[in-house]
Structure 1
Amino acid sequence: MDIGTKVALAVAAAALCVASTVGLLVHRITAADQLATARSDLDRQLMSAVYDHAAGRKSAARLDPPDLPAAVSKAVRRGDRVTYLQDGPDPVLWAATRVSDRTVLALSRPYGHEADELAALDRTLVTTGAAATAGVSLAGLALGVRMGRRATAAARTAERIAHGDLNARIGPQGRDEIARLAASVNAMADALGARLEAERRVTADIAHELRTPVTAMVTATGLLPPGPATDLVAGGVRKLRGLVEDVLEVARLDAHAVSVETEPRQVSAMARRAVTGLDGAEGRVEVRIVTDTLAETDPRRVERILTNLVTNALRHGTPQVTVEVDAETNAETDGDGAGPLVRIRDHGPGFPPDLLAVLTASGPQRFRTGCESAGTGLGLGLTIASGQARLLGARLTFRNHPDGGAEATLRLPPTSPSPGSTGAAAAPVPRPRPCPTARTD
């Protein structure tokens, strides 16, 4: 139940309680005043009848009436002068007093008129109360809906900020708690954006500062005499250079200082090029072509994505690593058009549950991997792959395969045929499944 409904129900309940309380009080006060007036008037008539009886004049009073209520008779015989309302379908108001030791003088009159007036008043109170409750409830509903919309807008903006849209802001409305919440969310977004910008600047500055000495180290290692020590130093320098380049790439992606240059390219060719030359890929990586297509994309960035995914599979998984090129069907894409996809799967233990939850919810995060204790990476590879995929309009998803191992799937956007083209160049080219094209590098 949203806040708008809660506010509307609370206002309606409060209005109903107020209307009921006011109606009950008016009913009781009116009934008491009405009865007191009738009793006073009938008592005066009784006293006048007593004087007429003493003077021997006729009056409306009766002596010892047979229908006198027992309660009145009992009270009068004790010496009291009483008025009494006899309830029933036809209520009757009595007034009686004792005129001698054994004689009772009594007056009575119907009380139905007053009862009808009280019933009419009750109906008026109910109608008025219902109308007032409905009106206040509608006003409460309008207020609740407005508050609900403002709260929902604030929540959606906060979600956008949480998903990386640091330019999202909530428009200030009013001066209540929701407006204060909106201002707090905006302030939080400003502070978060400032901190992330500072982090990006520091990261980029450090990477730029390291680039020159790392380049010098690469040059220097080429001048060292061959030997195991030289190979060890050269390997370490290559890793350091790769790390610096990764940090620079993340900084460029964060700053949106990149451009995309598209051209038609066979997906299978990009997959094979991505695997070629990877350290440790020979005999451990297999490229399978199920359905090959042309993709209008930036091949350099696609290859970088696939290279990072295969490297991650080799580092954290267990061979054999499979790179499978396929194409989605229209049914799989809900009629949005079929597009090429590439699946990278290893046969290791799969993604840890906590890391998979993060990858599914918000995508890869830098400096976070599934093996922090092992010291096997800084989590930049998946971060770069995810950033490159966003640039290309592609979608990168992660899961643990039902048969074991981790699986990453890159879905490239479908290629639209050029004007005047039959679209044959972009059509899927199926390959026989029993004989997949394979290559180990």
Structure 2
Amino acid sequence: MSAVRACPVRRRVRGVPRRPAWTATLTWKAAVFITLMCCALAALLGALVHVSVTRQTVDASREKALSRLEDVTRAYEAGEPLPPFAGVDPVGLPPSLRDLATRGSRGTVVADHEGRPTMWAAGPADGRALAVRVDYSLSARTIGGLDQAILGSSVLAIGATLLVGSFAVTRVTRRLHLTAQVARRISAGDLDARVDDPRTKDPSRPQDEVATVSGALDTMASSLQGKLLSEQRFTADVAHELRTPLTGLSAAAELLPPGRPSELVQDRVRALRALTEDLLEISRLDAGGERVDLDVYALGPLAERVVRASGVGARVRIVRDARVETDRRRLERVLGNLLANAHKHGRPPVVLTVDGPVVTVRDHGEGYPAYLLEHGPQRFRTESGSKGHGLGLTIARGQAAVVGAELVFANPPGGGAEARLTLPEYVDLTAEDGEEPR
């Protein structure tokens, strides 16, 4: 059954790498979001600071270079000797700036000169380019240091924001995980489980969304517990109240004269008595106070005895026998109910198979209804043409849970219905060590 369901999944995901489970957590998503937002904000602020400081630094160096160019131009026109940092068509002058000066305009440009960043300023001089240069190394180092400071501070800010954000998100997700755990415990049958968020107990404290969800879950659990307990008490009370009149009705039916009417009355009384006993058993299972009498049994012979006692004509098939630790009376009750259900609602042949600690009861009828496969057996609900109250499988699942076994219902390939009971196998540790068991 599981292989049939798994095949479409394998075809659907073939060739697609599966992401790790932690990538779906809220903490990871929040961390990625915070990191991206911090990086974007740091990049924006860093770019604004870099552009502003660079513009100021370049403007200051340009003004200095143009001021020197004016002084050198006056000295050139007066025929005075030029300083070392100036010259007419000097070596290393960028061609673009030379062309600009020869066309009669002034301009500046930053370029490398002898391996050092230099601010050049040039202007026209008798059809040639009169140029000066200003050392731009200090300004370049200032801008470089600023960029490093921006990068370092951005990394520190991102790291600090990520730590604080992760801490805050982790506190929220921890509360969400606690709420989810309580919800799972409630669904598993622990109706006393509660979140008990302290924020929901003090009305003066502001409640966030997680506290609201926790309070709603606790309220729902309390309401559900009250309704279930009321239903369980009603079932138990009805069953107990029916026992007394049934006893009198059974005695009265025995006094009727022999005949068909008497047989019909006695048959209905027996059916009503069986229904009452089933209701009492369900009420005891719902109360959760059942005690088990555990012992070690060979599963194969025990299953054969159950089949013979049931009288349904099922076939027993033992693939591998095993010793199990269980309550024999409860196990016989589970197997008897499964056989009776297969005989009543299925079609022959009914086969009981023992394969190690696993017992399967299979018939070849129409299979279990969809609601039973999805939600499990439900009392007083049946979709079969035969009469029934839906209590047999409910009792079987409840008794299986009491003895620590797992009962699964499925419709196997080829038709029919299959109930698979997995019991805890008994392992004799002394025998494995080569010692004689006592």
**Both structures adopt the same fold (TM-score exceeding 0.5):** yes
* Structure 1 residues 223 and 31: alpha-carbon distance in aligned structure 2, compared to 1, 3 A threshold: same
Q: How far does residue 42 in structure 1 lie from its aligned partner after superposition?
A: 3.8
Q: What residue is the counterpart of 2:119 in the other structure? A: 93
Q: How far does residue 151 in structure 1 lie from its aligned partner after superposition?
A: 3.4
Q: What residue is the counterpart of 1:412 in the other structure? A: 423
Structure 1 residue identity aligned to 2:216 = S
Q: What residue is the counterpart of 1:254 in the other structure? A: 286
Q: What residue is the counterpart of 1:351 in the other structure? A: 368
1:71 partnered with 2:100: yes
**Distance (Å, rounded) in 1 between the aligned partners of 2:223 and 2:330:** 32
Structure 1 residue identity aligned to 2:364 = H
**Distance (Å, rounded) in 2 between the aligned partners of 1:203 and 1:75:** 108
Q: How far does residue 348 in structure 1 lie from its aligned partner after superposition?
A: 1.6
1:301 alignment partner, one of 323, 327, 330:
330
**Distance (Å, rounded) in 1 between the aligned partners of 2:321 and 2:132:** 110
Q: How far does residue 32 in structure 1 lie from its aligned partner after superposition?
A: 0.9
Q: What residue is the counterpart of 1:155 in the other structure? A: 180
Structure-to-structure mapping, 1:277-316, within 5 angstroms:
278=310, 281=311, 284-288=313-317, 296-316=325-345
**Distance (Å, rounded) in 2 between the aligned partners of 1:391 and 1:24:** 69
Please say if residues 350 and 405 of structure 1, whose CA atoms lie closer than 8 Å, have aligned partners that are also in contact.
yes
Query: What per-residue deviation string (whole Å, max 9, x for no partner) do you get for residues 105-125 of structure 1?
Result: 764424343223312322332
1:229 partnered with 2:261: yes
Aligned residue pairs: how many?
397
* Structure 1 residues 273 and 215: alpha-carbon distance in aligned structure 2, compared to 1, 3 A threshold: farther
Structure 1 residue identity aligned to 2:158 = T
Q: How far does residue 102 in structure 1 lie from its aligned partner after superposition?
A: 8.3
Structure-to-structure mapping, 1:161-240, within 5 angstroms:
161-170=186-195, 172=197, 176-240=208-272
**Distance (Å, rounded) in 1 between the aligned partners of 2:342 and 2:386:** 16
SS at match of 2:214: helix
Q: How far does residue 407 in structure 1 lie from its aligned partner after superposition?
A: 2.2
Larger CA deviation: 242-251 vs 216-225: 216-225
Q: What residue is the counterpart of 1:392 in the other structure? A: 403
Q: How far does residue 103 in structure 1 lie from its aligned partner after superposition?
A: 9.8
Q: How far does residue 378 in structure 1 lie from its aligned partner after superposition?
A: 3.1
**Distance (Å, rounded) in 2 between the aligned partners of 1:37 and 1:296:** 92
**Distance (Å, rounded) in 2 between the aligned partners of 1:250 and 1:34:** 88
Larger CA deviation: 190-199 vs 139-148: 139-148
SS at match of 1:27: helix
Q: What residue is the counterpart of 1:335 in the other structure? A: none
**Distance (Å, rounded) in 2 between the aligned partners of 1:251 and 1:242:** 14
**What is the percentage of aligned positions where both structures have the same residue?**
37
Q: How far does residue 196 in structure 1 lie from its aligned partner after superposition?
A: 1.5
Structure 2 residue identity aligned to 1:355 = L
Please say if residues 107 and 123 of structure 2, whose CA atoms lie closer than 8 Å, have aligned partners that are also in contact.
no
Q: How far does residue 69 in structure 1 lie from its aligned partner after superposition?
A: 3.2
2:390 alignment partner, one of 374, 379, 394:
379
Q: What residue is the counterpart of 1:132 in the other structure? A: 157
SS at match of 2:420: strand
Larger CA deviation: 247-256 vs 230-239: 230-239
Unpaired runs of 5+ residues, structure 2, are: 1-22, 200-206
* Structure 1 residues 240 and 142: alpha-carbon distance in aligned structure 2, compared to 1, 3 A threshold: same
Q: How far does residue 295 in structure 1 lie from its aligned partner after superposition?
A: 5.1
**Distance (Å, rounded) in 2 between the aligned partners of 1:52 and 1:287:** 120
Q: What residue is the counterpart of 1:15 in the other structure? A: 38
Structure number with the bigger relative contact order (C-alpha 8 A, sep ≥ 6) is 1
* Structure 1 residues 95 and 214: alpha-carbon distance in aligned structure 2, compared to 1, 3 A threshold: same
Structure 1 residue identity aligned to 2:276 = V
Q: What residue is the counterpart of 2:108 in the other structure? A: 84
* Structure 1 residues 135 and 264: alpha-carbon distance in aligned structure 2, compared to 1, 3 A threshold: closer
Please say if residues 85 and 91 of structure 1, whose CA atoms lie closer than 8 Å, have aligned partners that are also in contact.
no
Please say if residues 267 and 292 of structure 1, whose CA atoms lie closer than 8 Å, have aligned partners that are also in contact.
yes
**Greater per-residue helix proportion:** 2
Please say if residues 322 and 425 of structure 2, whose CA atoms lie closer than 8 Å, have aligned partners that are also in contact.
no
Q: How far does residue 147 in structure 1 lie from its aligned partner after superposition?
A: 4.5
Please say if residues 270 and 302 of structure 1, whose CA atoms lie closer than 8 Å, have aligned partners that are also in contact.
no
**Distance (Å, rounded) in 1 between the aligned partners of 2:127 and 2:360:** 114
* Structure 1 residues 277 and 57: alpha-carbon distance in aligned structure 2, compared to 1, 3 A threshold: closer
| TM, length-normalised to structure 1 | 0.75
SS at match of 1:84: strand
Unpaired runs of 5+ residues, structure 1, are: 77-81, 329-338, 425-441
Please say if residues 97 and 106 of structure 1, whose CA atoms lie closer than 8 Å, have aligned partners that are also in contact.
yes
Structure 1 residue identity aligned to 2:365 = G
Structure 1 residue identity aligned to 2:60 = T
